[in-house]
Amino acid sequence: MQIVKKSASEVPAYVTSIITDQLNQKKNSILGLATGSTPLAIYKYWIEEFKQGNLDFSQAISFNLDEYVNLPASDPRSYNYYMKENLFQHINIDQNNTHIPNGQAESLQEECARYDQRIQEFGGIDLQILGIGLNGHIGFNEPSNELLLNTHVTPLSESTRIANSRFFDHIDQVPTQAITMGIGSIFKAKKIILIAMGVEKSEIVKQAFLGNITTQVPASLLQLHHNVEIVVDTDCGKLIT
Ligand code: F6R
């Protein structure tokens, strides 16, 4: 595991250079993508680089980490909508090559099994982008005595619902469940980049990457992955010397 500290303004360019190398090496790379506040500046940078002709997504394939259950793709708070709005509609990725779990599938169990199967059919994720929750979650793998390997339906913890209520009018509107890739699905990625920004993430980042490995801090398991880079901005990395 490698921890890289950058100033907040350097992070997007730094992460973009990794994605550019990845796509230059393999045009049809399988990218694992995240939503939330953290990737926004990075996706903006990708869009700029695409417009400059420095990034080409024409053959790229993407799989998102997660989606709320029971929020239609047309809902601006769904991750489906987020991805279109903040990335897909601005770049040359083929929409047929983008994948987001369907939180409205008739059988959510079947949808979960299908999702992992599709990732494997494409040969597995080459580069996975992750954020980290204030409680140490990755995807929506919430702190628990045991973590599930495969893509699954999960209840959202109270702290996650509170954190995500900033995108809703009221906490009661925040879905109570999501579909998320499991820890095993994430671990199969050939390379993982976890990005954490801001002072409010500094404590959990310290616990996750300098502390013991525990399912109560799901991100701490990443210490065991063979190719993981943690990118933090200066504020977030202030407890890491
Ligand atoms: C989003 C996801 C979550 C977020 C995490 C951090 O697809 O899987 O694990 O990465 O909740 O969210 P932000 O970046 O909003 O702090």
- Average pLDDT per block of 10 residues along the chain, 241 residues long: 97 98 98 98 98 98 98 96 98 98 98 98 98 97 97 95 94 97 97 98 98 98 98 96 79
Query: What is the reported pLDDT for 88?
Result: 98
Residue whose pair of structure tokens reads 């913890």 in the numeric block: 157
217, 204 Cβ separation under 8 angstroms: yes
Which ligand 1 atom sits closest to the C-alpha of 36?
A: 15
Q: Cα(62) to centroid of ligand 1, in Å?
A: 17
Packing angle of the helix pair 40-51, 79-86 (nearest 10 deg)? 40
Spatial separation of the C-alpha atoms in residues 186 and 200, rounded to whole Å: 24
**Closest ligand 1 atom to Cα of 38:** 14
How high is the pLDDT of residue 54?
96
CA of 94 to the centre of ligand 1 (A): 24
Instruction: Give me the active site residues, please.
Output: 66, 135, 137, 142
How many C-beta neighbours within 10 Å does residue 44 have? 15
For residue 105, give both structure tokens: 């599938």
40: phi then psi, degrees, rounded to nearest 5 = -55, -50
Ligand 1 cavity residues, CB under 6 Å: 34-38, 65-66, 131-133, 137-139
What Å distances lie between residue 89 and 38, 39, 79, 80, 199, CA to CA? 19, 16, 14, 12, 32
Mutate to test the pocket of ligand 1, among 128, 140, 142 (most ligand atoms within 8 A of CB): 140
Calpha distance 219→43 (Å, rounded): 22
Cα of 123 from ligand 1 centre, angstroms? 25
> d(Cα 211, Cα 209) in Å, to the nearest integer?
6
Residue 241 is predicted with a pLDDT of 79
What span, in angstroms and rounded, lies between the C-alpha atoms of 224 and 99?
27
Q: Kindly give the distance from the C-alpha atom of residue 113 to the centroid of ligand 1, in angstroms, as a whole number.
A: 22
- Please give, one letter per residue, the 3-state secondary structure of 67-99: EECCCCCCCCCCHHHHHHHHCHHHCCCCHHHEE
